[in-house]
């Protein structure tokens, strides 16, 4: 049982005193006495970290109530050391993220929270459907907000993570401050194994900078108050530059012989300029604001759908810096408001590479004289440039897309 479960019932952390801890099985003899079968290193770390927390205004009562008796979270340790062996293709990700059930639930939530969403939209200038889409993506509209006691997860990372120690320490201090201020009770402070919290999965630092109080009760309760969580998400998007009333992007058709080097992650043009290059919106619909600037994205290479991405797409990426995530949020928002499915088919034979396969690809490209830098398993600008150079030399479409088919082509020498 997590400490969050054990202390169920305490609603005002500011009034929790050390004697109360005895009643929930945490017997203290000095600061943070070790529980039976404790990890000795973790216990030493907790005693040492008290100095950091105290210097940030965390009281001993808060610290003991939050950290007393906890041990490292084994799930957090397992997951922080896990190396992804399989990369889900973007089309499989979208099929799950923008499922019929998620769209239907989103439309129901649009009606159920119509009044609150209207107020949030007017206050922050962020379209209600995208706020709902992030809620749907992050926790399935509150259906699963995580099952880890956030303090325990962050303490485990601050103690054991091999990198970014100062980051995890600051997140933990902020989480303790949130508890101390009474914005959430310890039993409700649950989230992901990495400390993301609440209906829309804010890290403590994001809560500090962007959380909002929808109902004026003085608490920024992203854990149990749906309106507070949605208002906080809207504020996050607003502060990162959301443009109200504008979309995230358009699915487009590319002309025969198109110069795929323009899909390089750097080139931006106005929609009018892209149209002059032969790009058309699917269904030959007009672009409503031809002067908007956009970047061309090919999530699965030249064989799949193509998109012109506007500023709002990159604002969504500030929430999660993955193209597939931002594409899913934007598409889910469109489908909630009644939009159509994507028109082009996905190239289901062009599977993406695992990290190990990417390292193999990079090694082979370097050997063949297409310099991509270190073979680190990450697809960055240098790797994409090397892929395009190889594709041109081999008479392939130079879209820079790293797929299993491409790796097989290089391995076979074709």
Give residue 4's pLDDT.
35
> What is the residue whose two structure tokens read 């994507």?
342
The DSSP line for 123-188 is: HH---HHHHHHHHHHHHTTTT---SEEHHHHHHHHHHH-SS-HHHHHHHHHHHHHHHHHTSS-GGG
What is the token pair recorded at 257? Answer: 């012989």
What is the Cα–Cα distance from 197 to 220, expressed in whole angstroms? 12
- Whether the CB-CB separation of 347 and 406 falls below 8 Å is answered with no
Give residue 21's pLDDT.
27
Give residue 186's pLDDT.
86
Q: What is the pTM for the complete model shown?
A: 0.88
Give residue 187's pLDDT.
85
- Whether the CB-CB separation of 65 and 13 falls below 8 Å is answered with yes
235-278, pLDDT tens digit by residue? 999 999 999 999 999 999 999 999 999 999 899 999 999 999 99
**H or E stretch covering 291:** none
CA distances to 34, 39, 70, 408 from 64, rounded to whole Å, are: 11, 17, 10, 57
DSSP category for residue 253: E
What is the token pair recorded at 140? Answer: 């399935």
89-104, pLDDT tens digit by residue? 999 999 999 999 999 9
- CB-based contacts of 234, cutoff 8 Å, min separation 6: 120, 121, 123, 124, 126, 131, 212
- Whether the CB-CB separation of 362 and 372 falls below 8 Å is answered with yes
Give residue 17's pLDDT.
28
What is the Cα–Cα distance from 328 to 146, expressed in whole angstroms? 21
CA distances to 157, 328, 373 from 166, rounded to whole Å, are: 10, 32, 29
- Whether the CB-CB separation of 228 and 221 falls below 8 Å is answered with yes
Q: What is the mean pLDDT of each run of 10 residues along the chain (414 residues)?
A: 32 28 28 55 96 97 93 94 77 97 98 98 98 98 95 97 94 97 91 96 97 95 96 98 97 96 94 98 95 97 97 97 96 97 96 94 96 93 94 93 95 79
Give residue 2's pLDDT.
35
């Amino acid at each position: 049982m997590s400490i969050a479960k054990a202390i169920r019932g305490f609603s005002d952390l500011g009034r929790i005193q050390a004697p109360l801890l005895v009643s929930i099985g945490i017997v203290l003899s000095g600061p943070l006495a070790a529980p039976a079968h404790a990890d000795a290193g973790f216990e030493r770390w907790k005693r040492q970290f008290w100095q950091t927390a105290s210097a940030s205004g965390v009281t001993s009562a808060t610290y003991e109530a939050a950290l007393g008796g906890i041990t490292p979270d084994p799930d957090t340790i397992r997951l922080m050391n896990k190396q992804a062996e399989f990369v889900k293709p973007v089309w499989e990700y979208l099929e799950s993220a923008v499922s019929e059930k998620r769209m239907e639930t989103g439309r129901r939530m649009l009606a159920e929270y119509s009044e609150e969403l209207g107020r949030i939209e007017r206050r922050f200038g962020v379209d209600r459907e995208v706020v709902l889409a992030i809620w749907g993506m992050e926790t399935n509209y509150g259906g699963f907000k995580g099952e880890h006691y956030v303090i325990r997860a962050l303490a485990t990372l601050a103690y054991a993570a091999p990198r970014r120690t100062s980051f995890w320490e600051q997140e933990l201090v902020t989480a303790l401050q949130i508890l101390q201020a009474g914005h959430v009770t310890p039993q409700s402070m649950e989230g992901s194994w990495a400390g993301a919290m609440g209906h829309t999965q804010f890290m403590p630092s994001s809560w500090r900078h962007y959380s909002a109080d929808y109902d004026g009760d003085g608490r920024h309760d992203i854990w149990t108050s749906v309106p507070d969580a949605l208002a906080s998400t809207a504020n996050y998007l607003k502060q990162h530059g959301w443009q109200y009333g504008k979309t995230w992007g358009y699915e487009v058709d590319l002309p025969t012989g198109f110069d795929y080097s323009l899909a390089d992650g750097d080139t931006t043009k106005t929609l009018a300029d892209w149209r002059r290059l032969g790009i058309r919106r699917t269904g030959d619909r007009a672009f409503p604001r031809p002067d908007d600037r956009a970047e061309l994205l090919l999530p699965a290479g030249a064989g799949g759908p193509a998109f012109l991405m506007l500023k709002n797409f990159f604002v969504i990426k500030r929430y999660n810096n993955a193209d597939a995530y931002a594409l899913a949020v934007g598409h889910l928002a469109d489908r909630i408001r009644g939009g159509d499915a994507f028109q082009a088919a996905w190239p289901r034979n062009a599977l993406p590479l695992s990290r190990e396969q990417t390292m193999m690809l990079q090694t082979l490209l370097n050997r063949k004289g297409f310099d991509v830098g270190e073979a680190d398993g990450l697809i960055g600008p240098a790797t994409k440039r090397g892929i395009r150079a190889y594709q041109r030399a081999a008479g392939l479409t130079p879209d820079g897309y790293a797929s299993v088919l491409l790796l097989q082509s290089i391995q076979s020498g074709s």
